[in-house]
């Protein structure tokens, strides 16, 4: 395609027409995933949205109730609070993850000893299952940290962070970030390695210092990677579930219940249709965020 | 027909092979499973025994029940009972698919009672087993909802719970079992002055707050049955202005609960869980522990010889108000859509034979719900027998709130915040909203 600009008019048209016709075999390649996606995601999704307009509890008879579930859901403080918590938590975690991962990536691509070994160490949290991480940290926060706090006489650490309704979310941010940093780190390392060395040489010749090199060269050239990490991370954190279940179970009280947890509660609580309405609202919100993020980042970076 | 079309889809998916191979294998299995579901209508031949699918998933008692089933199968050739221990979620799913089990023996709670309310269970009132069940338990069953004109479920095992106390610690400090609220405070003060933690709290696990502190405090002061009837009648009106509401009826009882939880529990209660509590209590680190009989087995694992007893938590000044918390740990049900209801009924009658139902409850520290059964002989739960026999029982308030309202979380928050008011307002609002939807 890129060569078309070099060839004159007649050949150009020919090439373009040929490129437009798609080999039918590609549609065959698409078919399995299209069928599976439709059966496993789209159809259940539509069924779920349909049931959000009923009073079904998952079994037995049901009838259409119109928008009742939506009206109730939007005025339900438990659901509203779970949205506020989830969005606040996701924003903070995205920030923490990306700042830390970026710093680590810069460090791990510079000329230091044991670079490869250190990279391996920092990536380990990514391969451990979230629920296991959560249970291990649960023990640390409930037993080890209070013991350390007592030994050192640090007042606010003496009781478990997880038992403090105002601070439990910080523990969740720490653990989630601990698990999410490696993924972001790998993308940042790849990005940093892709920056050609001659740009830095040119900067050196122009007399740029270390900080200037970071803010004027590295950061602008990394915006695409930052955008990817922020979008992917935010999307993942909105779905937060396993780490919260393992750490606080949504507690203390209802302080750390995420949206996913309230939706799941509809299945074992016999509140199927109501939480389907909640899930539909969440779906719409997620789509809006995705569209907003894409339009915001499209102009500036080559996504 | 439907299974047929699904199968061709799967076959097409399989034909396209490549990277989607594993996925298309899944699709293939799906098609076969759907085809299989259509075939389940076919029964066995005349000579083969009838198969009764019997679901039972109480982990601690699976060994006992396996023995009962094996004996029954060996005793006759007409019916083959198959024990299915896959759990309540699988049972719920089988109802949705229209393929329910033939006989269920399950914990009776808000989740199972959905089957009752939507009339998906058959009437058992004409069975012999139904005739032998204590009549005063019926209101407890009805509290979870009912299907008009039917006896949808029969109680099989009733668990009573109260305060578990360390008799050795009580004896060392010359303490009697308290029978009134002020006696309880005296006991707690005496223990605390002597450097003993009166109660062991495990507030990290919200259900322990719900079933213990919250339920005992409410049940000891409020007529739980009447309270929930009045709440149901108020429906969408429940709130600050209604005659009955959580914030009016439960504020006082829960103030007494927070008085206990703020003053008389271990310092680290907020970060201790159920397992920690069993261990600490077994090691004699506290004198009293608000748990059900299931914890006794765990405590015995650490200290088999520890001398423990039980007594109802006194919340008023009148010893006649003493009551124990009960729950129907197991109830027997035969779904309307059971494939072999007659054979299931035969096995149900077998399960209710005195030697079996009594041996079962004896082994699980439960109370037998039949009228002529002797009380359990285990000395650890002796302290509750008198109240159970006299019908001085209540069902926990926390299990009578529909599960969609996170009442355990609220109970935990009340204990940690030390202020019931905002959480009781949430309970009212949740209750009214639920009434509006259903």
Q: Which of B433, B434, B435, B436 to mutate to test the interface with A (most CBs of A within 10 A)?
A: B433
Q: Which of A78, A165, A246 to mutate to test the interface with B (most CBs of B within 10 A)?
A: A78
User: B430 in contact with A at a CB cutoff of 8 Å?
Assistant: yes
Q: Give the count of beta carbons closer than 10 Å to the beta carbon of residue B363.
A: 14
Domain ranges, ordered by start, for chain B: 50-158+327-378, 160-326+394-437
Nearest beta carbon to residue B413 from set A146, A253, A274: A253
CATH superfamily, domain at B160-326+394-437: Periplasmic binding protein-like II (3.40.190.10)
CA distance B221 to B315: 6
Q: Which residue from A35, A57, A72 is facing B114, i.e. has the nearest CB?
A: A57
What's the start-to-end Cα distance of chain B, in Å?
36
The answer for B 4-23 residues in CB contact with A (under 8 A) is 9, 12-13, 16, 18, 20, 23
A77, B9: Cβ pair inside 8 Å?
Answer: no
Flag whether residue B203 sits within 8 Å of chain A, measured between CB atoms: yes
pLDDT confidence of residue A12: 53
pLDDT digits (tens, 9 = 90+) for B116-167: 887 889 999 999 999 999 888 888 888 888 888 899 999 999 999 999 999 9
Q: Does A272 touch chain B (CB under 8 A)?
A: no
CA distance A134 to chain B (A): 15
Domains of chain A: residue spans and CATH: 68-298 (1.10.3720.10)
Whether residue B185 contacts residue B203, with contact meaning beta carbons closer than 8 Å, is answered with: no
Q: How far is B184 from chain A, CA to nearest CA, in Å?
A: 28
Q: Which of B406, B420, B428 is the best mutation test for A, with the most CBs of A within 10 A?
A: B406
Q: Which residues of A touch B437 (CB under 8 A)?
A: 55, 65, 68-69, 72, 274
For chain B, what's the residue count?
438
Does A61 contact B118 at a Cβ distance shorter than 8 Å?
yes
Predicted pLDDT of residue A300: 55
Q: Do B406 and A249 touch (CB under 8 A)?
A: no
Chain A: nearest CA to B412, how far in angstroms? Answer: 5
b vs e for B196-211, b when ≥16 Cβ sit within 10 Å of the residue's Cβ? bbbbbbbbbbbbbbbb
> Does B417 score more than 50 pLDDT?
yes
Using pLDDT thresholds of 50, 70 and 90, give the confidence band for residue B415. very high
Same topology, domains B50-158+327-378 and B160-326+394-437? Answer is yes
- Out of B114, B115, B271, whose CB is closest to A146? B271
Q: Is the ipTM value over 0.95, yes or no?
A: no
How far apart are the C-alpha atoms of B343 and B49, rounded to whole Å?
10
- At B247-277, the pLDDT tens digits run 999 999 999 999 999 999 999 898 899 999 9
Nearest to A32 among B23, B114, B402 (CB): B23
Compare CB distances from A254 to B115, B404, B409 and report the shortest one's residue: B409
Is the CB of A96 inside 8 Å of chain B's CB atoms? no
Which residues of chain B does A141 touch, with a Cβ-Cβ cutoff of 8 Å? Answer: 271
Q: Does A176 touch chain B (CB under 8 A)?
A: no
The CA distance from B203 to B257, in Å, is: 13
Extract the residue ranges of chain A whose pLDDT is less than 50. Answer: 1-11, 302-303
How much is the pLDDT for A80?
92
Q: Contact, B294 vs B226, CB < 8 A? A: no
Judged on CB neighbours under 10 Å (0-12, 13-18, 19+), B336 is middle
pLDDT score, position B120: 86
Classify residue B133 by its DSSP letter: B
Tens of pLDDT, residue by residue over B38-56, are: 444 444 445 678 899 999 9
**pLDDT value of position B158:** 92
- Cβ contact B201:B261 at 8 Å: yes
Nearest to A251 by CA among B181, B401, B152, B203: B203
Q: Which residues, including other chains, have CB under 8 Å from residue A203's CB and lie 6 or more apart?
A: A212, A213, A216, A217
Q: Do A32 and B115 touch (CB under 8 A)?
A: no
Pairwise CB contact (< 8 Å): A253 & B110: no
What pLDDT, on a 0 to 100 scale, did the predictor assign at position B47?
61
What is the per-residue pLDDT for A18?
55
Hey, is the C-beta of A11 within 8 angstroms of any chain B C-beta?
A: no
Could you give the residue ranges of the DSSP H alpha helices within B148-250? Answer: 167-172, 181-193, 206-208, 215-221, 224-234, 246-249
Structure confidence by residue, pLDDT tens digits, A103-132: 999 999 888 888 888 888 898 988 899 899
In the prediction, which pLDDT does A19 show? 58
Chain B residues with CB-CB distance to A255 below 8 A: 413
- The whole-chain average pLDDT of chain B stands at 85
* Greatest mean pLDDT range, B16-20, B365-369, B375-379: B365-369
CB contact under 8 A, B18 and A32: yes
- The answer to whether B416 contacts A265, with C-beta atoms less than 8 Å apart, is no
DSSP secondary structure letters along B306-350: --EEEE----SS-GGG--EEEEEEEEEE-BTT-S-HHHHHHHHHH
Cβ of B92 within 8 Å of Cβ of A59? The answer is yes
Beta-sheet pairing, B50-56 with B154-166: unpaired
Element holding B425 (H helix, E strand): helix B421-437
Which of A77, A160, A269 lies nearest to residue B404, judging by beta carbons? A269
* Token pair 């373009």 in the structure block, residue: A16
* Fold type of domain B50-158+327-378: D-Maltodextrin-Binding Protein; domain 2 (3.40.190)
């Amino acid at each position: 395609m890129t060569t078309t600009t070099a060839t004159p008019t007649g050949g150009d048209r020919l090439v373009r027409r040929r490129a437009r016709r798609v080999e039918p075999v590609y549609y065959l390649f698409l078919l399995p995933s299209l069928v599976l996606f439709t059966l496993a995601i789209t159809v259940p999704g539509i069924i779920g949205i349909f049931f959000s307009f009923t009073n079904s509890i998952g079994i037995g008879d049901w009838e259409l109730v119109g928008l009742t579930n939506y009206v109730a859901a939007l005025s339900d403080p438990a659901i509203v609070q779970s949205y506020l918590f989830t969005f606040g938590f996701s924003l903070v975690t995205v920030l923490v993850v990306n700042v830390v991962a970026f710093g680590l990536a810069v460090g791990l691509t510079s000329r230091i000893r044991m670079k490869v070994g250190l990279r391996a160490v920092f990536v380990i949290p990514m391969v451990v299952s979230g629920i296991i991480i959560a249970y291990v940290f649960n023990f640390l926060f409930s037993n080890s940290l209070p013991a350390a706090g007592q030994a050192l006489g640090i007042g606010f650490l003496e009781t478990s962070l997880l038992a403090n309704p105002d601070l439990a979310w910080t523990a969740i941010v720490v653990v989630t970030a601990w698990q999410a940093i490696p993924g972001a780190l790998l993308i940042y390392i790849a990005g940093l390695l892709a920056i050609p060395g001659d740009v830095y040489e040119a900067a050196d010749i122009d007399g740029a210092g270390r900080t200037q090199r970071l803010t004027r060269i590295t950061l602008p050239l990394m915006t695409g990677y930052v955008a990817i990490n922020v979008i992917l991370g935010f999307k993942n954190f909105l779905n937060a579930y396993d780490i919260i279940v393992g750490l606080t179970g949504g507690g203390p009280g209802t302080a750390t219940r995420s949206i996913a947890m309230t939706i799941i509660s509809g299945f074992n609580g016999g509140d199927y249709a109501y939480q389907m309405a909640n899930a539909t609202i969440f779906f719409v919100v997620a789509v809006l965020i995705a569209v907003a993020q894409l339009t915001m980042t499209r102009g500036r970076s080559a996504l | 027909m439907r299974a047929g079309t699904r199968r061709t889809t799967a076959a097409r998916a399989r034909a396209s092979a490549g990277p989607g191979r594993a996925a298309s294998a899944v699709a293939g299995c799906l098609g076969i499973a759907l085809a299989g579901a259509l075939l389940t209508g076919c029964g066995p031949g005349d000579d083969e025994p009838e198969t009764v699918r019997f679901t039972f998933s109480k982990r601690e008692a699976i060994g006992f029940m396996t023995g009962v089933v094996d004996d029954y199968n060996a005793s006759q050739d007409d019916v083959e009972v198959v024990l299915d221990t896959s759990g309540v979620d699988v049972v719920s799913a089988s109802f949705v698919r229209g393929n329910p089990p033939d006989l269920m023996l399950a914990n009776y709670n808000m989740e199972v009672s959905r089957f009752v309310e939507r009339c998906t269970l058959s009437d058992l009132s004409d069975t012999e087993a139904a005739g032998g069940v204590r009549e005063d338990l019926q209101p407890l069953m009805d509290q979870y909802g009912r299907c008009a004109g039917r006896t949808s479920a029969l109680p099989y095992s009733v668990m009573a719970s109260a305060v578990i106390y360390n008799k050795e610690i009580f004896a060392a400090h010359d303490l009697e079992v308290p029978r009134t609220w002020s006696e309880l405070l005296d006991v707690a003060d005496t223990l605390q002055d002597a450097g003993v933690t009166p109660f062991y709290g495990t507030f990290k696990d919200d259900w322990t707050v719900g079933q213990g502190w919250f339920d005992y405090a409410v049940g000891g002061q409020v007529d739980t049955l009447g309270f929930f009837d009045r709440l149901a009648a108020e429906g969408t009106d429940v709130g600050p202005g209604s005659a009955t509401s959580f914030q009016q009826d439960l504020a006082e009882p829960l103030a007494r609960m927070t008085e206990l939880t703020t003053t008389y529990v271990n310092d680290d209660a907020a970060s201790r869980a159920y397992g920690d509590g069993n261990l600490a209590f077994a090691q004699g680190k506290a004198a009293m522990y608000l748990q059900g009989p299931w914890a006794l087995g765990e405590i015995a694992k650490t200290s088999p010889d520890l001398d423990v007893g039980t007594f109802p938590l006194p919340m008023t000044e009148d010893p006649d108000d003493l009551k124990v918390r009960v729950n129907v740990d197991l109830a027997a049900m035969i779904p309307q859509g059971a494939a072999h209801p007659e054979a299931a009924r035969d096995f149900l009658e077998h399960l209710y034979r005195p030697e079996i139902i009594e041996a079962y409850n004896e082994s699980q520290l439960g109370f037998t719900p039949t009228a002529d059964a002797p009380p359990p002989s285990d000395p650890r739960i002796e302290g509750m027998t008198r109240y159970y026999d006299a019908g001085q029982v209540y069902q926990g308030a926390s299990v009578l709130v529909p599960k969609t309202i996170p009442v355990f979380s609220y109970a935990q928050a009340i204990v940690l915040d030390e202020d019931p008011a905002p959480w009781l307002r949430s309970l009212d609002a949740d209750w009214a909203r639920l009434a509006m939807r259903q």
